[in-house]
């Protein structure tokens, strides 16, 4: 039954991803979020609430001993020092694809909990994009700055075994998907998708449209699972 639930969730997730891609193509620069909002709209004033939201990304057995970071006016800062190598934080909309109409959506919150290889080799992308955001760069300037950083080898190569938990029922990934479905993220070097069978019509492994050489040289897989981090089941129509 659990395997069937996961398959249904994966099918629904693929349909949503395809629909979202068409939605992106239909948008233009005059959409609802054409520019960055005030920084205060992206910050969470209650530090403890952000810590709790970040920890909700992973099962409690992992999150309780993880390092937790929160977004401040000068970037992400450590709020809780962990002991198990995982790093949990809440990502903002600017971690989406550069062609997303919600790149500047101040309402989006993406609780994520990276394992140690991902914290060392993938999380620096989050820190770097955030640095450029807080420096006041436009979306196009951030893209060009990231591209320049990649060309200068200023980002580490993705490590083997890099993965990320995104199991928070309290997440808000975008206006269309809401909290979407609970899923795991796996990271491999760019163009390595075929070795996983990812993106095939009947595969439960989805390819996230962001990164993938645009401009970061990382491919990110999404694997829907059947339960949220609190152990409750994800319904087949979760969104």
Nearest to 166 by CA among 236, 118, 223, 85: 223
* pLDDT bucket at 29, cuts 50 / 70 / 90: low
* pTM for this model (two decimals): 0.86
Domain holding 194, by residue range, is 2-224
The tens digit of pLDDT for each residue in 80-103 reads: 999 999 999 999 999 999 999 999
pLDDT digits (tens, 9 = 90+) for 210-224: 888 899 999 999 999
The answer to whether residue 124 is domain-embedded is: yes
Edge-first strand order for the sheet with 163-166 is 75-80, 67-72, 87-91, 110-114, 163-166, 183-189, 218-224, 206-207
Inform me whether the pLDDT recorded for 12 exceeds 80.
no
**Arithmetic mean of pLDDT, 195-200:** 81
pLDDT at 192 over 90: no
Q: What percentage of the chain exceeds 70 in pLDDT?
A: 85
Is residue 237 one of the residues assigned to a domain?
no
Question: Who contacts 98 (Cβ-Cβ below 8 Å, separation ≥6)?
Answer: 139, 142, 143, 210, 214
Q: What is the pLDDT of residues 127-179, one digit of tens each?
A: 999 999 999 999 999 999 999 999 999 999 999 999 999 999 999 988 887 77
Contact 146, 82 (CB under 8 A): no
Structural domain total, the chain:
1
For the stretch 37-63, pLDDT in tens is 999 999 999 999 999 999 999 999 999
| pLDDT above 90 (res 118) | yes
Distance separating alpha carbons of residues 145 and 106, to the nearest angstrom? 22
Q: How many CB atoms lie within 10 A of CB 21?
A: 14
Closest CA to 68 of 117, 109, 113, 108: 113
pLDDT reported for residue 175:
87
- Work out the pLDDT band at 20, boundaries 50, 70, 90: very low
Q: To the nearest whole number, what is the mean pLDDT of the chain?
A: 87
Does residue 232 fall inside a structural domain? no
130: its two tokens: 């955030």
In a domain, 165, yes or no: yes
Residue 25 placed within a domain: yes
Whether residue 236 is contained in a domain is answered as: no
Residue 79 lies in a domain: yes
Q: Quick check: 4 pLDDT over 80?
A: no
pLDDT reported for residue 80: 98
Confidence band, pLDDT 50/70/90 cuts, at residue 30: low
Asked whether residue 205 is assigned to any structural domain, the reply reads yes
């Amino acid at each position: 039954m659990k395997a069937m639930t996961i398959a249904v969730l994966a099918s629904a997730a693929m349909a949503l991803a395809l629909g979202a891609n068409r939605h992106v193509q239909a948008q233009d620069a005059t959409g609802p979020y054409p520019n960055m909002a005030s920084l205060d709209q992206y910050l969470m004033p209650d530090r403890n609430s952000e810590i709790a939201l970040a920890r909700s990304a992973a099962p409690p057995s992992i999150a309780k001993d993880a390092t937790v970071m929160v977004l401040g006016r000068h970037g992400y800062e450590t709020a809780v020092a962990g002991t198990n190598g995982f790093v949990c934080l809440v990502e903002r909309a600017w971690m989406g694809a550069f062609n997303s109409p919600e790149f500047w959506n101040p309402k989006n919150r993406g609780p994520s909990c990276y394992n140690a290889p991902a914290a060392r080799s993938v999380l620096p992308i989050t820190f770097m994009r955030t640095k450029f955001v807080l420096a006041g760069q436009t979306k196009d300037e951030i893209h060009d700055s990231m591209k320049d950083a990649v060309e200068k080898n200023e980002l580490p190569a993705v490590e083997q075994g890099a993965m990320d938990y995104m199991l928070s029922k309290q997440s808000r990934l975008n206006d269309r998907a809401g909290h979407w479905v609970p899923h795991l993220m796996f990271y491999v070097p760019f163009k390595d998708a075929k070795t996983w069978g990812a993106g095939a019509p009947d595969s439960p492994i989805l390819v996230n449209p962001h990164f993938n050489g645009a401009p970061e040289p990382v491919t990110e897989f999404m694997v829907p699972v059947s339960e949220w981090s609190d152990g409750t089941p994800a319904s087949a129509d979760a969104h």
